[in-house]
A and B are shown apart, each in its own frame.
With several copies, the nearest count.
Chain A
Amino acid sequence: MTTTADAALTNAGAVRDAVRAFLDENFDRDISLRTWLSRLVDSGWASPQWSTDWFGKGLSADLAAVAFDEFRKVKAPGPPAGLGRMLAAPTIIAHGSDEQKQQFVRRILTGEDAWCQLFSEPGAGSDLASLQTRAELDGDEYVVNGQKVWTSGALGADLGMLLARTDVDVPKHRGISYFAFEMDQPGVEVRPLKQITGDASFAEVFFTDARVPAANVIGELNGGWGTAMTTLMNERVGLGAGAGLNFPISAPAGRKIQDQLEVSVGDYIDKVSGGRSAQAGSAGRNMGLGALVAYAKKNGRDKDPGVRDQIARAYTLNQLLAWNGLRAKAAAKAGKGLGPEASLGKLMMSHVTRQNRETALAIVAGDAMLAGKDGPLGGSVASQVLFTPAPSIYGGSDQVQRNIIGERVLGLPKDPDISRDVPFRDLKVGTQSKAN
């Protein structure tokens, strides 16, 4: 994919002027959210970092930030911030056919479709390529059987980014295809998955003779591994909190909530303003340091030298996460910037999260034993403790990120993968004795 840029938008002033002109002409608190999103998408301002060919303006990260700054001034709602925009759209733009881009990407930006990610399986975690869900051709459709796990937003999703095995006679990386999969069909069962936090924000998804058109393969048939890499790289950027470029408010998405797009832009802004941020990443679950420091002061814990050291450590890592991101963005050119370096941000987020937990615990001391309504800071310290193990596991564990950093950033040789060249049907997977 090559990125083409709007030739007029070469500096911050030009971008600022162009956004203001667009807003003057199109932004109106009285039109419906649907109408506004449609104008925004058609103009290329919905995702200004993307190529002009596909819904964008081809801006560098720096210039895109200027654009978002202008939108922020009027609190303009942007496209939905979920997995569709974060993962599916860039993947389809990179690997899909022009028909697929038309079919899927616009509806993501306008909030018509919500997406989920159907990658991980019980037997395929770090070794995602050993996935066992099968898709077998039947006429011009594939029949899907198997199970996915750790699917977030599965209940509200209209489509899923599905990885399924389409050839078991070749080594594991070479027999996987990537589908745009319709979720609302009889062969799909979604079961909420309760996490250690007590929440069930993820689900298991079971497929029993579910169906997907052959035309919905994104990228090459059996070339799904390459397509999935684009999705995973975008995910790492998001989870490393490197995806901060966005509108101040994001629209909702999905066929089931289409009525929410009928409200006026003004009402929508008033409703969510000051509330939900546009960030789709995981950072939202990390406690703010400000609340902890205020709590420490209020309870006299700020006099404790150990607590002071922990506060300094947490502040340091949180700042470094942000500064690493700023440096990466400053270095990135238009259309670039996604690479294995994203794993550094992802790994850093694990450190930040653990440090936030330890700082919180040092501050609240014995009250760390309490949770929920009785727990300190309204239970959010207990929530932080319980959430902390997640970032080092999801979206590729810390160990996987270190492999990526070592091999793809530093150029160290790969660990021999003895399963790499074995036909999938002969492979041992997960905790089972045989893959198939």
Chain B
Amino acid sequence: MSMAFNEEQDELRKSVRRFLEQKSSSADVRRLMETDEGYDPAVWQQMAEQLGLQGLALPEEHGGSGFGFLEQIVVVEEMGRALLGAPYFSSVVLAGTALVESGDDAAQKDLLPGIADGSTIATLAWVENPSDWTVNGISATAKRSGDGYTIDGKKTLVLDGHTASLILVVAKADGGPSLFAIDASAAGLTRKKLDSLDMTRKLASLELSGTPARLIGSEGDAAGIMERTLRLAIVALAAEQVGAAQKCLEMSTEYAKLRVQFGRPIGSFQAIKHKCADMLLEVESARSAAYYAAWAAADGTDELPVVASLAKAYCSDAFASAATENIQIHGGIGFTWEHDAHLYYRRAKSSEQFLGSATTHRELLAQQLLAAESV
């Protein structure tokens, strides 16, 4: 396993960063976060048409470019850095991956091209209990109805659930937890936007009452699909956290060089200098964790379950720490609404819990280590 990106991947990073510097400036982020939708449809289309980001890692036969997970990681890392307001994580990382992992050719043929070209905004709704990110304890039920199904139940913490046109929902059928596709205009679906701590990431709750749904894969498939999907999603989230943490480090270092107190830049004081040094070590270590997990995902190695949880746990902690210290190093100005420090802090404290806390993932890591013959 080589621990470096190749030149094409570096080029991809450069072009994504350039695009986001233009389209997701601080002013853009702030404008979009005040809207209910949280994204700019024009920029969303440019992402698809100019850079092909939505379809980047989706299969070529379904409208994607067929690149691998490493390219996907480069993109989400840059989006994290820029705090891009867009339904990318929901539509591509969650829903897109779930469809790919479902192995349902027909559904992929019908649904992936829209996700790949950005014309469909999709999301994945599975959570009912905020402390359980698995599908083990869900209550939503799916009943056969004609040649389809109807679903009853409630879902929460649905990313972009109020704006998505396609919603993948996990519900219990006779065969166990199963994955379904629902059209946003379907009967019996009530969507409610929720106020979110991280205003750049929009959330909704759903109520389904006899809502018609299409089964993806077979009944009982959702446990496996979701396990594989979330394993990749936490690696993507870890990379997003690395991108944002890196930005916090840069903001802190820059300010520490510029801000003068007691006749010298505050970065010359050990209290600040050592904070920045610790932050660098944590950000670099987080990067190692996210990249190693990404390579494990790309190579499909057995290590993935262990290293994915390792990455999510460590990157959550590192980003939370970087975002918090960034405010501390900025002092008063870092506590003002006008400064961007709080946008990263909100993202950090929100994504720390999203898809399972560090504590949860360390427990998963321990489970797998202890189940192994030897460490």
Whether A and B touch directly in their complex, counting CB atoms under 8 A apart, is answered as yes
Q: Which residues of A contact B335 (CB under 8 A)?
A: 195-196, 389-390, 393-394
Q: Determine whether B260 belongs to the interface, using a CB cutoff of 8 Å to chain A.
A: yes
A357-372, CB under 8 A of B: which get 1 and which 0? Answer: 0000110111111111
The reply to whether A413 and B268 contact each other, CB–CB distance below 8 Å, is yes
A294-337, CB under 8 A of B: which get 1 and which 0? Answer: 10110101101110110111011001100110110111000000
> Which of A313, A368, A386, A406 interacts with B274 by CB under 8 Å?
A406
The reply to whether B257 and A411 contact each other, CB–CB distance below 8 Å, is yes
Query: Given A313-B362, A375-B195, A344 and B284 touching (CB < 8 A)?
Result: yes
The reply to whether B313 and A312 contact each other, CB–CB distance below 8 Å, is yes
The reply to whether A347 and B277 contact each other, CB–CB distance below 8 Å, is yes
The reply to whether A323 and B267 contact each other, CB–CB distance below 8 Å, is no
> Which of A294, A365, A370 interacts with B357 by CB under 8 Å?
A365
Nearest chain B CB to A379 CB, angstrom units:
8
Considering the complex, give the chain B residue whose CB is closest to the CB of A398: B328
The reply to whether A372 and B365 contact each other, CB–CB distance below 8 Å, is no
Q: Which residues of A contact B145 (CB under 8 A)?
A: none
Nearest chain B CB to A11 CB, angstrom units:
14
Q: Which residues of B contact A422 (CB under 8 A)?
A: 263
The reply to whether A320 and B289 contact each other, CB–CB distance below 8 Å, is yes
> Which of A347, A362, A429 interacts with B359 by CB under 8 Å?
A362
Q: Determine whether B276 belongs to the interface, using a CB cutoff of 8 Å to chain A.
A: yes
Q: Which residues of chain B from 328 to 375 have a CB within 8 Å of any chain A CB?
A: 328, 331-339, 341-342, 345-346, 349-350, 352-354, 357, 359, 362-363, 365-367, 369-370, 374-375
- Give Cα A367–Cα B278 distance, bound, in whole angstroms: 30
Q: Which residues of B contact A401 (CB under 8 A)?
A: 277
The reply to whether B3 and A327 contact each other, CB–CB distance below 8 Å, is yes
Q: Determine whether A127 belongs to the interface, using a CB cutoff of 8 Å to chain B.
A: yes
Q: Determine whether B90 belongs to the interface, using a CB cutoff of 8 Å to chain A.
A: no
Q: Which residues of A contact B337 (CB under 8 A)?
A: 194-196, 198
**Which of A2-10, A118-126, A262-270 lies at the binding interface?**
A118-126
Interface extent on B, as a size class? 35 or more
B289-312, CB under 8 A of A: which get 1 and which 0? Answer: 101100000000000000100100
- Give Cα A330–Cα B287 distance, bound, in whole angstroms: 14
Q: Which residues of A contact B133 (CB under 8 A)?
A: 366
Q: Determine whether A385 belongs to the interface, using a CB cutoff of 8 Å to chain B.
A: yes
A177-195, CB under 8 A of B: which get 1 and which 0? Answer: 0000000000000000111
Query: Given A315-B369, A366-B130, A126 and B375 touching (CB < 8 A)?
Result: no
The reply to whether A302 and B370 contact each other, CB–CB distance below 8 Å, is yes
Q: Determine whether B273 belongs to the interface, using a CB cutoff of 8 Å to chain A.
A: yes
> Which of A313, A369, A386, A418 interacts with B157 by CB under 8 Å?
A369
**Which of B40-48, B73-81, B164-172, B196-204 lies at the binding interface?**
B196-204
- Give Cα A411–Cα B327 distance, bound, in whole angstroms: 20
Query: Given A369-B354, A393-B335, A413 and B359 touching (CB < 8 A)?
Result: no
The reply to whether A402 and B278 contact each other, CB–CB distance below 8 Å, is yes
- Give Cα A365–Cα B331 distance, bound, in whole angstroms: 28
Q: Which residues of chain B from 2 to 22 have a CB within 8 Å of any chain A CB?
A: 2-4
- Give Cα A25–Cα B44 distance, bound, in whole angstroms: 63
The reply to whether A312 and B131 contact each other, CB–CB distance below 8 Å, is no
Q: Determine whether A271 belongs to the interface, using a CB cutoff of 8 Å to chain B.
A: no
Q: Determine whether B238 belongs to the interface, using a CB cutoff of 8 Å to chain A.
A: no
- Give Cα A371–Cα B195 distance, bound, in whole angstroms: 5
Query: Given A330-B2, A361-B353, A418 and B197 touching (CB < 8 A)?
Result: no
Considering the complex, give the chain A residue whose CB is closest to the CB of B265: A413
The reply to whether B334 and A374 contact each other, CB–CB distance below 8 Å, is no
Query: Given A315-B310, A393-B331, A412 and B257 touching (CB < 8 A)?
Result: yes
- Give Cα A304–Cα B253 distance, bound, in whole angstroms: 38
The reply to whether A403 and B366 contact each other, CB–CB distance below 8 Å, is no
Considering the complex, give the chain A residue whose CB is closest to the CB of B354: A369
The reply to whether A370 and B264 contact each other, CB–CB distance below 8 Å, is no
The reply to whether A320 and B259 contact each other, CB–CB distance below 8 Å, is no
Tally of A interface residues using CB under 8 Å = 96
Nearest chain B CB to A355 CB, angstrom units:
12
> Which of A373, A415, A427 interacts with B270 by CB under 8 Å?
A415
> Which of B260, B268, B333, B357 interacts with A122 by CB under 8 Å?
B333
The reply to whether A290 and B263 contact each other, CB–CB distance below 8 Å, is no
Considering the complex, give the chain B residue whose CB is closest to the CB of A319: B310
Considering the complex, give the chain A residue whose CB is closest to the CB of B306: A315
Tell me which of A196, A331, A416 has the highest count of chain B C-beta atoms within 10 A of its own C-beta: A196
Q: Which residues of B contact A122 (CB under 8 A)?
A: 333
> Which of B130, B261, B339 interacts with A127 by CB under 8 Å?
B261
The reply to whether A369 and B350 contact each other, CB–CB distance below 8 Å, is yes
Nearest chain B CB to A348 CB, angstrom units:
6
A399-436, CB under 8 A of B: which get 1 and which 0? Answer: 10111011101111111111110100001111110000
Nearest chain A CB to B269 CB, angstrom units:
7
The reply to whether A362 and B288 contact each other, CB–CB distance below 8 Å, is no
Considering the complex, give the chain B residue whose CB is closest to the CB of A383: B197
The reply to whether A385 and B285 contact each other, CB–CB distance below 8 Å, is no
Q: Determine whether A18 belongs to the interface, using a CB cutoff of 8 Å to chain B.
A: no
- Give Cα A302–Cα B366 distance, bound, in whole angstroms: 9
- Give Cα A412–Cα B258 distance, bound, in whole angstroms: 10
The reply to whether B194 and A374 contact each other, CB–CB distance below 8 Å, is yes
B36-69, CB under 8 A of A: which get 1 and which 0? Answer: 0000000000000000000000000000000000
Q: Which residues of A contact B269 (CB under 8 A)?
A: 399, 415
Nearest chain B CB to A436 CB, angstrom units:
14
Nearest chain B CB to A264 CB, angstrom units:
34
Considering the complex, give the chain B residue whose CB is closest to the CB of A329: B3
Query: Given A312-B313, A406-B267, A297 and B365 touching (CB < 8 A)?
Result: no
Q: Which residues of A contact B258 (CB under 8 A)?
A: 431
Considering the complex, give the chain B residue whose CB is closest to the CB of A361: B353
The reply to whether A309 and B359 contact each other, CB–CB distance below 8 Å, is yes
Considering the complex, give the chain A residue whose CB is closest to the CB of B343: A196
Q: Determine whether A55 belongs to the interface, using a CB cutoff of 8 Å to chain B.
A: no
Q: Determine whether B127 belongs to the interface, using a CB cutoff of 8 Å to chain A.
A: yes
The reply to whether A311 and B366 contact each other, CB–CB distance below 8 Å, is yes
The reply to whether A389 and B4 contact each other, CB–CB distance below 8 Å, is no
The reply to whether B268 and A416 contact each other, CB–CB distance below 8 Å, is yes
Q: Determine whether B256 belongs to the interface, using a CB cutoff of 8 Å to chain A.
A: yes
Nearest chain A CB to B45 CB, angstrom units:
28
The reply to whether B375 and A370 contact each other, CB–CB distance below 8 Å, is no
Q: Determine whether B187 belongs to the interface, using a CB cutoff of 8 Å to chain A.
A: no
Q: Which residues of A contact B354 (CB under 8 A)?
A: 366, 369
11 contacts between A and B (CB under 8 A): A125-B332, A150-B332, A195-B335, A319-B289, A319-B310, A323-B292, A324-B288, A327-B4, A371-B195, A389-B335, A415-B268
Please give me the 5 A-B residue pairs with the lowest Cβ-Cβ distance, nearest first: A419-B263, A366-B130, A196-B342, A372-B195, A127-B261
Interface residues of chain B, those whose CB is within 8 Å of chain A, are 2-4, 127, 130-131, 133, 157, 194-198, 201, 203, 253, 256-274, 276-278, 280-281, 284-285, 287-289, 291-292, 307, 310, 313-314, 324, 327-328, 331-339, 341-342, 345-346, 349-350, 352-354, 357, 359, 362-363, 365-367, 369-370, 374-375
11 additional A-B residue pairs with CB within 8 Å, beyond A324-B285, A389-B334: A126-B331, A293-B375, A294-B374, A309-B362, A323-B288, A386-B342, A403-B277, A407-B273, A412-B257, A414-B268, A418-B263
